[in-house]
Amino acid sequence: MTGASLPAVVLGIDTPIGLAIVRDLGRHGVAVTGLARGQGALGLGSRYLARGLLRASGEAALLAQLEELGAALGQACLFTVSESDISMLNRHRAQLARHFHLMFPDQRRMERVLDKQKTYAAAQAVGVPVPRSWQPDNAAGLAAGAAGLQYPVVVKWADPHAAAPHLRAAGLAADKARYCHSAAELVAYLTPYGAAGCYPLVQEYCPGYGLGQFMLMRDGQAHCLFQHRRLHEWPPEGGVSTLCESLPLSQHSALMAQSVALLRALEWEGIAMVEYRHDPASGRSALMEINGRFWGSLPLAVAAGAHFPWHAYQLLGQGRAPTAAPYRAGLRCRFMVPETKRLLRLLFRPQAVADRSLPRRPLAELLAYLSDFLRPSTRYYVFQWRDPGPFWRDLRQMLRR
């Protein structure tokens, strides 16, 4: 159809991210084999999937399954979605490279962006704005450190993957993000982590909305650019994007240039999302993190015409520079299950929203939720008229649960 000479294997077709990769590659004529964790995986219902398989259980068995697939296909592009799978596959990178063009960064680069402290240091070096942060290192300094902060603060892990084994050993859980509104609340929250010998990162609260800037990098050059703003998240105070809108590249252009400079400084190769918190009142943006993988709102980028999976296939798999056409700004995309959960919390449990600065407008939220069904520029993470199978599969799974 468009020069799709190599087949592709997608590990992780259970989520809207993997589904978006399958759809984008399949529409461009790529024969896609998808590996799913269960029969209910969204991608297994897509008409654009040439072959669907259940992934083998365990690292050794999965590696053997991929080796068998690679030998049968001859040469193929291997995509994956989650950071844990990227880390696992990178342990066998040389072995996999015999059969596959790998569509994910090596572990050296991944470790640079997984550790927020390293990311922020690189950002400051190239002039990218970062939030003021404090990293506790021992129990004795908690009270004094907490007393010097301005509240509220947001607590998150600098490198959640590195902290995970220490937390498990101490019987502790890691919140993705936690809001604390006073020094006493912060000290009470941090104190139990002393048993694990590590503490989360404490950041100043940055008002505004989530701004994502996305690019495909090769040899220091950005080959595809896209950006969006987060309109809604689940949970409401920050998390998974549930409603997002594409923005034109004419907005935040200086910040986009800084994002590219940051990835260039990190010697980044492949796709990445540079995420900011942008305050329209002050015009200030602050770096939150870099996702060195395909991101949750990928369905919006693809729907708008920023075909990151296809362009990565061309650039990293076939070795030819893609031609990225202008994408459509002002398009919205909804992730309906968490978007509905968000609405229900705002309507019936507003006291559970951790960010107290969020306005309480239950009627306006309900009307906006309903009116988006009628908006011509609205698209969906899962539902598509031309590929309805994943939607019906998702609906059956929800009814079973």
Q: Please report the pLDDT score of residue 239 as a whole number.
A: 83
- Residue (of 387, 214, 191) closest to 298 by Cα position: 214
Segments of the chain scoring below 70 in pLDDT: 1-4
pLDDT of residue 2: 52
The predicted structure's pLDDT at residue 401: 74
Q: What letters, b where the CB count within 10 A reaches 16 and e where it falls short, cover 34-54? A: bbbeeebbbbbbbebbeebee
Neighbours of 20 (CB within 10 A): 30
Query: What's the CATH number of domain 8-104, 3.40.50.20, 3.40.50.1240, 2.30.30.280, 1.10.287.1080?
Result: 3.40.50.20
pLDDT digits (tens, 9 = 90+) for 197-243: 999 999 999 989 999 999 999 999 999 999 999 999 999 888 889 99
How far apart are the C-alpha atoms of 244 and 143, rounded to whole Å?
39
At residue 233, the pLDDT reads 93
> What is the per-residue pLDDT for 4?
67
Residue of 144, 138, 274, 282 whose CA lies nearest to 207: 282
The per-residue pLDDT for 1 is: 42
Give the whole-angstrom CA distance, residue 333 versus residue 241.
Answer: 10
Q: C-alpha dihedral over 316, 317, 321, 324, to 10 degrees? A: -90
Domain 209-400, CATH class in plain words: alpha beta
pTM for this predicted structure: 0.92
Residues 6+ apart with CB under 8 A from 163: 157, 174, 196, 198, 200
Six token digits for residue 227: 């950006």
pLDDT, position 249: 97
